Chain A
Amino acid sequence: MNEKNGITVKDKKSWFRRNGPVLSTTGPISVWMLVFVLIPMLYIIFISFMTRDVYGGIVYDFTLDNYKEIIQPLYLKVIWKSLKLAFITTVICLLLGYPLAYYIAGKPSKTAAKLIMLVMIPYWTNSLVRLYSVNLLGATNGPINNILMDIGLISEPLDMLYSDGIVVIGLLTAMLPFSVLPLYASIEKLDKSLLEASRDLGARPHITFLKVTIPLTMPGIVGCVLLVFIPSLGMYYVPEALGGGKVMLIGSLVRNQFLVTKNWPFGASLAILLVLMTLAMVWIYTRVSKMDDLEVF
């Protein structure tokens, strides 16, 4: 990797003296990011236009077939379902996370810090073990069914596993902590005097909420959507652990192209599709928040 970015070295000593601080601080990070992030990303784009040979290798022939293959109803269905489940998860995260964040923001700062910590602790337990617990809870002979049958609410065990519903619950257990943080950050910043002003001017509470609170906390809401929606799309282990392979989402589809069927070009084109969806979300985020939070880089 040539980190001198093409600058011709004329006088070696003075060049080093001039650029020493810049090179020593930004050199390692630049090289690392270029080699491990930028080049692989460009390589995916490149591969997505290549052809796969019968043995799973890559033939360097330009083609658009990988993208055409995505339009097959089978794959469109998977993409649609992924978007649907990610959307449902995001909405529930907002419905649960927003009131919780609002509640926490209303507490004195020390209590609030503790309550936020309480939200984050589960994130530090192995996510797969947590998912497996969800799996156990929902099993046909699991605790929930046992309790419901014992108290006579149901006579037949409910078939909860391997359904879209339990996949959403799994995604929620993985994602909910992340949704609370950005929401809390923006609600906490909210100037309470504006709410009072709205009330003094005669607005009813729900009007104040819709016209003042929600617009002012929009960056947090969109941040939450970003943090939940994008990972939900690519999170292949949740449907695998809870859906028993019956619920196929785009993340699993991409993974399978690479680790199972070895169709790299097609997998790459699916990955590009995922990235495009992500970029669309980020674009919306920067439009809405207008704070260029992500552009501070």
Chain B
Amino acid sequence: MEMRHDNVGDVRRVVLVGRLDTAGVDVVETRFGAAIVPNGKNTIVDLSGVTFLASMGIRMLISTTRALSRKGGRLVMFGATPGVHDVIETAALTDIIPLASSENDALGLVG
């Protein structure tokens, strides 16, 4: 599991690549939170390189988004592949974390 991050204007952009399974979450969860939460910036998360998502990955996304929310920031996901999109929809994760189809749409949603 790999992760990189940068900024697009005032928005934090995080790119995840690999499998958000038990092993992948173990590898990336601490870095993911550290890249997003401390500065409280609005954040977009690129899921286009994520090839697998299950409950451990959902838990990571919820807990990080919650911590960011407490600092006043918003998180929007984008670029989910069909299998990942299916799990996000099935789990109704979009009820609490927006999922955009493109980076531009995600930037529009975080404002």
Q: Are the chains A and B members of one assembly?
A: no
